[in-house]
Structure 1
Protein backbone atom coordinates (compact mmCIF):
# COMPACT_ATOMS: atom_id res chain seq x y z
CA UNK A 1 0.00 0.00 0.00
CA UNK A 2 2.85 2.36 0.83
CA UNK A 3 4.48 1.79 -2.59
CA UNK A 4 1.14 2.35 -4.29
CA UNK A 5 0.67 5.71 -2.49
CA UNK A 6 4.19 6.83 -3.38
CA UNK A 7 3.55 5.87 -7.02
CA UNK A 8 0.25 7.71 -6.98
CA UNK A 9 1.81 10.86 -5.51
CA UNK A 10 4.70 10.65 -7.98
CA UNK A 11 2.28 10.37 -10.88
CA UNK A 12 0.31 13.35 -9.64
CA UNK A 13 3.48 15.45 -9.40
CA UNK A 14 4.56 14.47 -12.92
CA UNK A 15 1.10 15.17 -14.36
CA UNK A 16 0.79 18.52 -12.60
CA UNK A 17 4.25 19.54 -13.78
CA UNK A 18 3.25 18.64 -17.32
CA UNK A 19 0.07 20.70 -17.00
CA UNK A 20 2.06 23.68 -15.78
CA UNK A 21 4.49 23.40 -18.68
CA UNK A 22 1.65 23.02 -21.18
CA UNK A 23 0.01 26.13 -19.75
CA UNK A 24 3.25 28.08 -20.08
CA UNK A 25 3.68 26.85 -23.67
CA UNK A 26 0.14 27.95 -24.51
CA UNK A 27 1.15 31.52 -23.72
CA UNK A 28 4.38 31.45 -25.69
CA UNK A 29 3.50 33.96 -28.42
CA UNK A 30 2.18 36.60 -26.01
CA UNK A 31 5.09 36.07 -23.62
CA UNK A 32 7.55 36.17 -26.53
CA UNK A 33 6.22 39.51 -27.75
CA UNK A 34 6.32 40.92 -24.21
CA UNK A 35 9.81 39.57 -23.46
CA UNK A 36 11.19 41.32 -26.55
CA UNK A 37 10.38 44.72 -25.06
CA UNK A 38 10.95 44.10 -21.33
CA UNK A 39 13.31 46.82 -20.14
CA UNK A 40 12.14 49.43 -22.66
CA UNK A 41 12.10 52.73 -20.77
CA UNK A 42 8.92 54.53 -19.74
CA UNK A 43 7.99 57.58 -21.79
CA UNK A 44 4.76 59.46 -21.25
CA UNK A 45 2.82 59.28 -24.52
CA UNK A 46 5.30 56.73 -25.91
CA UNK A 47 4.12 54.00 -28.26
CA UNK A 48 7.33 52.49 -29.65
CA UNK A 49 10.46 50.65 -28.64
CA UNK A 50 12.62 53.51 -29.93
CA UNK A 51 10.83 56.26 -27.99
CA UNK A 52 9.68 54.20 -24.98
CA UNK A 53 6.20 53.34 -23.79
CA UNK A 54 3.61 54.61 -21.40
CA UNK A 55 1.27 51.92 -20.08
CA UNK A 56 -1.44 52.23 -22.72
CA UNK A 57 1.11 52.71 -25.50
CA UNK A 58 2.74 49.42 -24.47
CA UNK A 59 -0.64 47.66 -24.66
CA UNK A 60 -1.30 49.13 -28.11
CA UNK A 61 2.14 47.99 -29.28
CA UNK A 62 1.62 44.40 -28.11
CA UNK A 63 -1.96 44.21 -29.40
CA UNK A 64 -0.82 45.57 -32.76
CA UNK A 65 1.42 42.48 -33.08
CA UNK A 66 -1.84 40.49 -33.22
CA UNK A 67 -3.70 42.99 -35.44
CA UNK A 68 -5.94 44.04 -32.54
CA UNK A 69 -7.12 47.61 -32.05
CA UNK A 70 -7.83 49.50 -28.85
CA UNK A 71 -8.39 53.12 -27.83
CA UNK A 72 -5.25 55.12 -26.97
CA UNK A 73 -5.66 55.79 -23.23
CA UNK A 74 -5.93 53.39 -20.31
CA UNK A 75 -9.14 55.10 -19.19
CA UNK A 76 -10.73 54.53 -22.63
CA UNK A 77 -9.34 50.97 -22.81
CA UNK A 78 -11.05 50.22 -19.48
CA UNK A 79 -14.41 50.92 -21.12
CA UNK A 80 -13.97 48.42 -23.97
CA UNK A 81 -14.79 44.73 -24.04
CA UNK A 82 -16.47 42.98 -21.15
CA UNK A 83 -15.64 42.96 -17.44
CA UNK A 84 -13.76 39.92 -16.13
CA UNK A 85 -13.53 38.82 -12.50
CA UNK A 86 -9.95 38.65 -11.24
CA UNK A 87 -10.32 34.91 -10.60
CA UNK A 88 -11.32 34.37 -14.27
CA UNK A 89 -8.45 36.24 -15.94
CA UNK A 90 -6.94 34.73 -19.09
CA UNK A 91 -3.78 35.77 -20.92
CA UNK A 92 -4.52 38.79 -23.08
CA UNK A 93 -7.05 40.32 -20.67
CA UNK A 94 -6.35 43.90 -19.66
CA UNK A 95 -5.96 44.84 -15.99
CA UNK A 96 -6.50 48.36 -14.67
CA UNK A 97 -5.31 50.24 -11.60
CA UNK A 98 -5.89 53.52 -9.80
CA UNK A 99 -2.34 54.70 -9.09
CA UNK A 100 -3.10 58.42 -8.95
CA UNK A 101 -6.12 58.46 -6.65
CA UNK A 102 -8.24 59.90 -9.46
CA UNK A 103 -9.61 56.82 -11.23
CA UNK A 104 -8.00 54.48 -13.72
CA UNK A 105 -4.49 55.68 -14.40
CA UNK A 106 -2.48 52.52 -15.16
CA UNK A 107 -3.01 49.37 -17.22
CA UNK A 108 -1.31 46.14 -18.16
CA UNK A 109 -1.82 42.86 -20.01
CA UNK A 110 -2.48 39.75 -17.97
CA UNK A 111 -0.04 37.01 -19.08
CA UNK A 112 -1.06 34.18 -16.76
CA UNK A 113 0.04 32.74 -13.42
CA UNK A 114 -1.00 35.91 -11.57
CA UNK A 115 1.36 38.05 -13.64
CA UNK A 116 0.83 41.05 -15.88
CA UNK A 117 3.09 42.96 -18.24
CA UNK A 118 3.09 46.76 -18.16
CA UNK A 119 5.16 49.89 -18.58
CA UNK A 120 5.94 51.21 -15.12
CA UNK A 121 6.75 54.91 -14.86
CA UNK A 122 9.71 54.07 -12.60
CA UNK A 123 11.05 50.88 -14.22
CA UNK A 124 9.78 50.77 -17.81
CA UNK A 125 8.32 47.61 -19.35
CA UNK A 126 8.31 44.81 -16.83
CA UNK A 127 6.36 41.86 -15.50
CA UNK A 128 4.73 42.19 -12.09
CA UNK A 129 2.47 40.09 -9.91
CA UNK A 130 -1.11 41.11 -9.21
CA UNK A 131 -0.47 39.96 -5.64
CA UNK A 132 2.23 42.61 -5.03
CA UNK A 133 0.82 44.92 -2.38
CA UNK A 134 1.19 48.03 -4.54
CA UNK A 135 -0.92 46.58 -7.37
CA UNK A 136 -3.24 44.55 -5.17
CA UNK A 137 -4.23 47.71 -3.27
CA UNK A 138 -4.77 49.73 -6.47
CA UNK A 139 -6.50 47.11 -8.66
CA UNK A 140 -9.78 48.40 -10.14
CA UNK A 141 -11.01 46.06 -12.87
CA UNK A 142 -10.14 43.81 -15.78
CA UNK A 143 -11.58 43.68 -19.28
CA UNK A 144 -11.64 41.03 -21.97
CA UNK A 145 -11.27 42.90 -25.23
CA UNK A 146 -10.40 40.07 -27.60
CA UNK A 147 -12.47 37.37 -29.26
CA UNK A 148 -11.88 33.65 -28.76
CA UNK A 149 -10.28 33.55 -32.21
CA UNK A 150 -7.91 36.42 -31.34
CA UNK A 151 -7.14 34.78 -28.00
CA UNK A 152 -6.16 31.57 -29.80
CA UNK A 153 -3.84 33.52 -32.11
CA UNK A 154 -2.32 35.35 -29.18
CA UNK A 155 -1.53 32.32 -27.08
CA UNK A 156 -0.68 29.85 -29.83
CA UNK A 157 1.40 32.09 -32.02
CA UNK A 158 -0.76 31.72 -35.13
CA UNK A 159 -1.17 34.82 -37.27
Structure 2
Protein backbone atom coordinates (compact mmCIF):
# COMPACT_ATOMS: atom_id res chain seq x y z
CA UNK A 1 0.00 0.00 0.00
CA UNK A 2 2.86 2.36 0.83
CA UNK A 3 4.36 1.77 -2.63
CA UNK A 4 1.07 2.66 -4.32
CA UNK A 5 0.70 5.85 -2.30
CA UNK A 6 4.32 6.84 -2.91
CA UNK A 7 3.94 6.11 -6.62
CA UNK A 8 0.81 8.23 -6.81
CA UNK A 9 2.46 11.04 -4.88
CA UNK A 10 5.50 10.90 -7.14
CA UNK A 11 3.33 10.95 -10.25
CA UNK A 12 1.40 13.96 -8.91
CA UNK A 13 4.64 15.84 -8.27
CA UNK A 14 6.00 15.06 -11.74
CA UNK A 15 2.70 16.00 -13.35
CA UNK A 16 2.41 19.29 -11.49
CA UNK A 17 6.02 20.22 -12.26
CA UNK A 18 5.58 19.56 -15.96
CA UNK A 19 2.26 21.41 -16.02
CA UNK A 20 3.91 24.43 -14.42
CA UNK A 21 6.66 24.57 -17.03
CA UNK A 22 4.20 24.14 -19.89
CA UNK A 23 2.08 27.07 -18.77
CA UNK A 24 4.81 29.27 -17.33
CA UNK A 25 4.49 32.95 -18.03
CA UNK A 26 6.97 34.14 -20.61
CA UNK A 27 7.96 37.23 -18.61
CA UNK A 28 11.16 38.23 -20.40
CA UNK A 29 9.87 37.26 -23.83
CA UNK A 30 6.67 39.25 -23.37
CA UNK A 31 8.67 42.20 -22.04
CA UNK A 32 10.85 42.28 -25.16
CA UNK A 33 7.80 41.98 -27.41
CA UNK A 34 5.95 44.74 -25.53
CA UNK A 35 8.85 47.13 -26.18
CA UNK A 36 8.27 46.94 -29.94
CA UNK A 37 4.50 46.49 -30.21
CA UNK A 38 3.28 49.13 -32.64
CA UNK A 39 6.53 49.27 -34.62
CA UNK A 40 5.50 49.66 -38.27
CA UNK A 41 5.79 46.92 -40.86
CA UNK A 42 8.66 47.31 -43.30
CA UNK A 43 9.43 44.67 -45.90
CA UNK A 44 12.95 43.41 -45.20
CA UNK A 45 13.05 45.35 -41.92
CA UNK A 46 15.03 44.02 -38.97
CA UNK A 47 15.14 47.02 -36.64
CA UNK A 48 12.89 49.24 -34.53
CA UNK A 49 12.54 51.49 -37.58
CA UNK A 50 10.38 48.71 -39.06
CA UNK A 51 10.10 44.91 -39.16
CA UNK A 52 8.87 42.28 -41.51
CA UNK A 53 7.67 39.09 -39.82
CA UNK A 54 10.96 37.19 -39.91
CA UNK A 55 12.97 40.33 -39.10
CA UNK A 56 10.85 40.79 -35.98
CA UNK A 57 11.61 37.21 -34.94
CA UNK A 58 15.34 37.74 -35.51
CA UNK A 59 15.27 40.94 -33.46
CA UNK A 60 13.49 39.34 -30.48
CA UNK A 61 15.56 36.16 -30.55
CA UNK A 62 18.77 38.21 -30.73
CA UNK A 63 17.85 39.51 -27.27
CA UNK A 64 18.33 35.92 -26.07
CA UNK A 65 21.48 35.31 -28.17
CA UNK A 66 19.66 32.93 -30.50
CA UNK A 67 20.48 32.72 -34.19
CA UNK A 68 17.96 31.83 -36.88
CA UNK A 69 17.85 31.95 -40.68
CA UNK A 70 16.59 35.20 -42.22
CA UNK A 71 13.29 34.27 -43.89
CA UNK A 72 10.13 32.66 -42.56
CA UNK A 73 10.46 29.82 -45.10
CA UNK A 74 13.96 28.98 -43.91
CA UNK A 75 13.04 29.48 -40.24
CA UNK A 76 10.32 26.86 -40.71
CA UNK A 77 13.01 24.32 -41.64
CA UNK A 78 14.96 24.48 -38.37
CA UNK A 79 14.17 23.12 -34.95
CA UNK A 80 11.63 20.45 -34.14
CA UNK A 81 7.99 20.31 -35.28
CA UNK A 82 5.49 20.99 -32.48
CA UNK A 83 1.79 20.13 -32.43
CA UNK A 84 -0.46 23.14 -31.91
CA UNK A 85 -1.73 21.75 -28.60
CA UNK A 86 1.85 21.47 -27.28
CA UNK A 87 3.02 25.00 -28.05
CA UNK A 88 5.03 26.85 -25.42
CA UNK A 89 6.34 30.40 -25.28
CA UNK A 90 9.15 30.95 -27.77
CA UNK A 91 7.92 28.44 -30.36
CA UNK A 92 7.60 29.79 -33.88
CA UNK A 93 4.27 29.56 -35.70
CA UNK A 94 4.00 29.66 -39.50
CA UNK A 95 1.22 30.56 -41.89
CA UNK A 96 0.42 30.46 -45.60
CA UNK A 97 -1.00 33.93 -46.21
CA UNK A 98 -0.41 34.22 -49.95
CA UNK A 99 -1.20 30.74 -51.26
CA UNK A 100 2.41 29.85 -52.04
CA UNK A 101 3.44 28.06 -48.85
CA UNK A 102 4.91 29.55 -45.71
CA UNK A 103 4.80 33.31 -46.06
CA UNK A 104 4.28 34.60 -42.51
CA UNK A 105 5.62 33.76 -39.05
CA UNK A 106 5.30 34.77 -35.44
CA UNK A 107 6.44 33.90 -31.93
CA UNK A 108 4.04 32.02 -29.70
CA UNK A 109 3.77 33.82 -26.34
CA UNK A 110 1.21 31.62 -24.58
CA UNK A 111 -2.53 31.67 -23.99
CA UNK A 112 -3.26 30.95 -27.68
CA UNK A 113 -1.49 34.21 -28.67
CA UNK A 114 1.46 34.99 -30.89
CA UNK A 115 3.44 38.13 -31.59
CA UNK A 116 4.25 39.07 -35.17
CA UNK A 117 4.79 41.92 -37.57
CA UNK A 118 1.65 42.23 -39.63
CA UNK A 119 1.81 44.06 -42.96
CA UNK A 120 -1.34 45.95 -41.98
CA UNK A 121 -0.76 46.58 -38.24
CA UNK A 122 2.98 46.36 -37.67
CA UNK A 123 4.11 44.50 -34.56
CA UNK A 124 1.01 43.18 -32.86
CA UNK A 125 -0.35 40.27 -30.86
CA UNK A 126 -2.99 38.01 -32.39
CA UNK A 127 -4.80 34.84 -31.41
CA UNK A 128 -4.16 31.57 -33.23
CA UNK A 129 -7.92 31.05 -33.08
CA UNK A 130 -8.64 34.22 -35.12
CA UNK A 131 -10.30 32.91 -38.27
CA UNK A 132 -7.68 34.54 -40.54
CA UNK A 133 -4.76 32.79 -38.83
CA UNK A 134 -6.60 29.59 -37.94
CA UNK A 135 -7.39 29.01 -41.62
CA UNK A 136 -3.82 29.78 -42.74
CA UNK A 137 -1.86 27.95 -40.02
CA UNK A 138 0.75 25.55 -41.44
CA UNK A 139 3.10 24.42 -38.69
CA UNK A 140 5.06 25.33 -35.59
CA UNK A 141 8.70 24.73 -34.73
CA UNK A 142 10.55 24.60 -31.44
CA UNK A 143 13.86 26.33 -32.05
CA UNK A 144 14.65 27.25 -28.45
CA UNK A 145 16.65 24.93 -26.20
CA UNK A 146 15.38 24.19 -22.70
CA UNK A 147 18.10 26.47 -21.27
CA UNK A 148 17.13 29.38 -23.54
CA UNK A 149 13.46 28.74 -22.82
CA UNK A 150 14.11 29.10 -19.10
CA UNK A 151 15.82 32.46 -19.76
CA UNK A 152 12.82 33.61 -21.79
CA UNK A 153 10.34 32.84 -19.03
CA UNK A 154 12.36 33.98 -16.04
CA UNK A 155 11.48 37.13 -14.14
CA UNK A 156 15.10 38.17 -13.68
Unaligned 5+ runs, structure 2: 1-18
CA distance in structure 1 between the aligned counterparts of 2:142 and 2:100, rounded to whole angstroms: 23
- Any idea what SS the aligned residue of 2:30 has? helix
1:110 matched residue in structure 2? 108
Q: Report the TM-score, using the length of structure 1 for normalisation.
A: 0.83
1:9 matched residue in structure 2? none
Unaligned 5+ runs, structure 1: 1-18
CA offset at residue 126 of structure 1?
A: 0.1
RMSD over aligned CA atoms reads 1.5
- Any idea what SS the aligned residue of 2:36 has? coil
Runs (4+) of structure 1 exceeding 3 A deviation are none
- Any idea what SS the aligned residue of 1:43 has? coil
Q: Are 2:138 and 1:140 equivalent residues in the alignment?
A: yes
CA offset at residue 75 of structure 1?
A: 0.1
Q: Are 2:26 and 1:27 equivalent residues in the alignment?
A: yes
The within-5 A match list for 1:50-61 is: 50=49, 52-61=50-59
Paired positions, count: 136
1:47 matched residue in structure 2? 46
Q: Report the TM-score, using the length of structure 2 for normalisation.
A: 0.84
